[in-house]
Chains A and B, each alone.
Chain A
Amino acid sequence: KAGVTQTPRYLIKTRGQQVTLSCSPISGHRSVSWYQQTPGQGLQFLFEYFSETQRNKGNFPGRFSGRQFSNSRSEMNVSTLELGDSALYLCASSLAQGLSYEQYFGPGTRLTVT
């Protein structure tokens, strides 16, 4: 099976702009989670989607939003970019069955805000 894919891999934006990142989960995986990774804060959970519904949301401002499509692909959007949004954004998918929380990660999108 193909792994989790994320596009684009690298992105440079300026403050005030908005950005959309895309994630395609492993075939058959219904849950998609997004994480932000920075040197200072480590890995922080953004949100999780299952069957097009957001089930969990981390402690991030409303500028961060996401959605999931019927084919389980997910997008996250960040509006009014700030310098502090520069980070590696990781997407992970899960089979979402029983108590098995193991997640499989994509390669990430490196976002740089200037």
Chain B
Amino acid sequence: AQTVTQSQPEMSVQEAETVTLSCTYDTSESNYYLFWYKQPPSRQMILVIRQEAYKQQNATENRFSVNFQKAAKSFSLKISDSQLGDTAMYFCAFPLESNSGYALNFGKGTSLLVTP
């Protein structure tokens, strides 16, 4: 069965520090996309970054980058120079198995708190 696992329910980091959020998944597909979404206290889900599985280069968006290990089925998110506004729930997401459409399967999330 396809699963997306986020093993860190809560994390805390000080402002300006770097933090890494973990995600592992299971799939039999060879070509796919992976996503990290952020949900701040406002509850608005925001796409943070996406990774194409066939690309070996890790995706980067400003202070956000991923460490994608395809063989290990690992997809971690690194946040550099953490800011107070990064406080949010972070979800790893992966397309649903046998998906004839465009729906996503989400992990349980990691609650990140950035402290001054």
Contacts and interface: CB of A to CB of B under 8 A. Distances in A.
B45 A90 contact: yes
B35 to A, nearest CB: 6
Most A CB within 10 A of own CB, among B37, B42, B101, B104 = B101
Given A33-B103, A101-B104, A45 B44 contact: no
A81 interface: no
A28 to B, nearest CB: 14
Interface string B79-105: 000000000000100011001111111
B104 A103 contact: yes
Interface string B31-64: 1110101000011111100101000000000000
Contacts of A101: 33, 35, 95, 102-104
Contacts of A56: 96, 99-101, 103
Interface residue range, chain A = 20 to 34
Interface string A21-54: 0000000000101010000001101001010000
A43 B103 contact: no
B108 interface: yes
Contacts of B33: 99-102
Nearest to A58: B103
Contacts of A92: 45, 104
Given A56-B103, A103-B104, 5 more contacts: A45-B105, A56-B100, A99-B52, A102-B50, A104-B47
